[in-house]
Amino acid sequence: MDDKLVTLAIRTYQRAQMIKSVLEENGIETVIHNLNLEQPELAVGVRVRIHQSDLPRALQLVEEIESEWEKDEIKTQESEILIPYDFADPVSKTIDFGFGFAAGMNAEVVLLYVYFSPAFTISAHNDLNTYSISDSELLRRIISTARADADNMSNLIRSRIEKGELPDVPFRFELREGVPEDQILEYCKKYNPALVVMGTHGKKVSTELIGSVTAEIMESSQVSVFAVPYSSAVQTVGAVKRIAFLTNFDQKDLIAIDKTIEMFKSDKLEIYFIHASEKNESWSEVILGGIKSYFASHYPSLVTHYALIGSPDNPDIIEDYLQQKGIDVLALNTRRRKLFSRLFNPGLAYKMVLNSDTAMFVTHV
């Protein structure tokens, strides 16, 4: 029987090199594939391959290596789950999910409230240039009200933690003045939270501001975003059992799928790999079937399905499929897009946020 090469792991270039070094020190021949040969340090998701006969020993070594990495990361990093919060939100689903994710990641919850203060007060004569002391009084009232609302919400959260309704994880409020999407993006750029959890109003009231703010963050931030509509049937992280991953057959999708499985750990998780295309090409079915086989072999307990559906630009077709299969979360990998592109050619994530009642998990690999 041929001792063929098999894929041991898919990791970043830097970590793949570290794994290769340790394995070869232990006498295991290791090969790294799918590098960007011109700029290997920029490659995402390279394959670490070994001979099949070395697999049992290599798996044990890699498990030990990555266990030490996890310990070091816990010591040196304090992960944050960011929840941009509006005190007028009628439902606390974002808090329920945010605290649920934080418990699974040993992370702190940061609730970010952005308030807007008008710079000018319109006088009785509609003179827009009139600025008066009442403006500073108004600003003080806005800040005072925001702080009082934050204190009240903090007390409510502590009460829910004591009752066992929420996991006991550390949390704090951040109050900032400005435009919500600008302040959220600035916070993500500066502190790089592990995840942003936001709410949407779904397709029934898709013109509401909160939906568009969430869509803007999805398309502009490098941080992963979990968006949950108020009408979503799923209530907690543990209740997520069926995830649809929209794939473009990009190599980066493998890393994004890996992140998705890690985020929604479950013994009964089902992944529906779907590819949206107007053309019914036979190679699409072959590649999609290959993805299914790969994850079936690397995640034996994972139940996988695959399907080819219609136009990638029609969110209604995708939404119909999600409803038909009872999908809890739609996951996809997307890239940051420039303002001009977002204004005149909104991406699929943007369209789905405003036209779907299904929760979404968007990564940026």
Residue 98: its pLDDT value, please? 94
Mean pLDDT over 106-119 rounds to 83
Q: Which whole-number Å values give the CA distances from 329 to 35, 243, 299, 316, in the listed order?
A: 32, 5, 19, 16
Which tens digit of pLDDT belongs to each residue from 33-49? 764 444 444 444 578 88
pLDDT of 102 over the 90 cut: yes
Residue range(s) of every CATH 3.40.50.620 domain in the chain: 80-228, 234-363
Residue of 116 and 265 predicted with greater confidence:
265
Q: What is the CATH number of domain 80-228?
A: 3.40.50.620
Residue 257: its pLDDT value, please? 85
Mean pLDDT over 120-128 rounds to 44
Residue 89: its pLDDT value, please? 64
Q: Which whole-number Å values give the CA distances from 120 to 126, 131, 143, 146, 363, in the listed order?
A: 11, 6, 17, 20, 40
| Pairing verdict, β 30-33 and 80-84 | unpaired
pLDDT of 187 over the 70 cut: yes
Mean pLDDT over 94-119 rounds to 88
Q: Which whole-number Å values give the CA distances from 216 to 98, 209, 267, in the listed order?
A: 19, 11, 33
Q: What gap in Å lies between CA 337 and CA 339, rounded to an integer?
A: 7
Q: Which of 69-73, 215-219, 287-291 has the highest mean pLDDT?
A: 215-219
Residue range(s) of every CATH 3.30.70 domain in the chain: 5-76
Domain 5-76: CATH class, spelled out = alpha beta
- Architecture of the domain defined by 234-363: 3-Layer(aba) Sandwich (3.40)
Residue of 334 and 95 predicted with greater confidence:
95
Lowest mean pLDDT among 8-22, 237-251, 314-328: 8-22
Lowest mean pLDDT among 48-62, 112-126, 132-146, 167-181: 112-126
Residue 182: its pLDDT value, please? 87
Residue 279: its pLDDT value, please? 61
Residue 18: its pLDDT value, please? 86
% of the chain surpassing 90 pLDDT: 22
Band of residue 312 on the pLDDT scale cut at 50, 70, 90: low
Residue 229: its pLDDT value, please? 86
Band of residue 173 on the pLDDT scale cut at 50, 70, 90: very high
Which tens digit of pLDDT belongs to each residue from 46-97? 788 898 888 888 888 888 887 776 665 544 344 899 999 887 665 578 999 9
Residue 107: its pLDDT value, please? 93
Band of residue 336 on the pLDDT scale cut at 50, 70, 90: low
Residue 10: its pLDDT value, please? 73
102: nearest Cα among 162, 191, 167? 167
Mean pLDDT over 277-304 rounds to 71
Beta bridge partners of 308: 275
Per DSSP, the three-state class of 306 is strand
Helix residue ranges per DSSP H, 221-331: 252-263, 282-298, 315-325
Band of residue 108 on the pLDDT scale cut at 50, 70, 90: very high
Which tens digit of pLDDT belongs to each residue from 142-168? 788 888 988 999 999 999 999 999 999
Residue 216: its pLDDT value, please? 83
pLDDT of 4 over the 70 cut: yes
Residue 74: its pLDDT value, please? 47
